[in-house]
Each structure stands twice: as C-alpha cells, then as structure tokens.
Amino acid sequence: MADDEVTENVEGGESGGKSGGSPLLTLLVLVNTVMMGAVAWFQYQSHLKEASRPTLQDIVKAEMQKAAEGTSDEAGEPREEDGILFPLETFTANLAQGDGPRRFVRLNAVLKFSKTSSEEEFKARKPQIRDAIIRTLNSKRPEELLKVEGKNYLKEEIKAAINAFMVDGHVIDVFYVGFQIN
C-alpha cells in the first residue's frame, strides 16, 4: 500500500501543485520579446534611412549633369573655362627627404591658361613657371603625393605659384599627363 501512494505522487504530481510555472519567468520572456521587437524596429528604421541616402554614383551623375549644363551660358557661347592649353616639358625633381631612401618625382603637365592670356607672356615666363613647379615639388614628401588629395592640393599650389607672377592672364587648371614617384 505504501508503494501505491509513492507511485501515485510521482505520476500524478501533487494534487494542489502549480502547472503554469513561475510568473517571474513569464514576465522575463515577455520583456525579452518586447525588447527584441524594439531592436528589430530600430534596425529597420536605420536601414530605411541608409537606403534613402544618395549613393556615390548618384552624386557623381548629378555633378556631371551640372557640369554639362553649366559649360555654356544662355546665349550658347563658351565660358572662360575654355582656355589655352600650354604643354610643359617633363619635370624630374627630388622630393623632400623623409625617413626612407631618397625619392624623386617625374611629372609631365599641361597648363590651362585663361583666354585673356597672351601666348608670348607664358613663353617668356616659361623659366619662372618651371622654377615655381620645381620648388613646389621639392617641398613635398612622397607620402603626401601618393594620395589623391595630395595630388589635387599640388595642382592648387602650382596654380597659385604661377598666378603670383602672371600679368595678363592666369592659370585655370593644371592637368597631369604623367605622374610617377620613384
């Protein structure tokens, strides 16, 4: 008879026992579910915000369209950006000494002068132009010129150095035809 009571308690459990579990566990599962939903909602909102931002291709395409539309004014005449191209001979200059071995740059460039420039002036000032470019190159370190920003900054420095002594016209742009660092 005692064996029957033990079997009955094991199989049926306590007659007044709880079958639902702890209310604390239920509350924790509910809070966890709500928090997971909140995290998913924030990630979804972040994804929508990121998808609405323009891509690099969109920006470049818009800038190209602006440039194409802005190349001429309403009368259809070309703007001043249509200048005179003046090719320069190849430059070979030492770069500023860094920690490593001695480095040099070989540069082949074309200058774009404004329409108001006279060809005689920039032919007469060719030695000054070459000197300004070589001095600018000598002040640069190889690490600076290996980056795209460094090359663009070099263009601006060359333009400023040449425009400092030009009288009739000015340099609009500098184009690199060849650029090599050894």
C-alpha of 50 from chain center:
18
| Average pLDDT per 10 consecutive residues for the chain, totaling 182 residues | 52 53 91 96 92 79 77 48 83 80 88 84 87 89 86 90 84 89 86
pLDDT at 70: 62
Residue 27 falls inside a structural domain: no
Residue 57 falls inside a structural domain: no
pLDDT at 34: 97
pLDDT at 140: 86
Residue 89 falls inside a structural domain: yes
Largest Cα separation within the chain, whole Å, is: 126
User: Distance between CA 71 and CA 80 in Å, rounded?
Assistant: 9
Residue 64 falls inside a structural domain: no
pLDDT at 5: 54
Look up residue 137 and give its amino acid. L
Looking at residue 78, what DSSP letter applies?
B
Structural domains of the chain, count: 1
CATH number of the domain at 147, please.
3.30.479.30
88: containing domain: 84-181
pTM (two decimals): 0.54
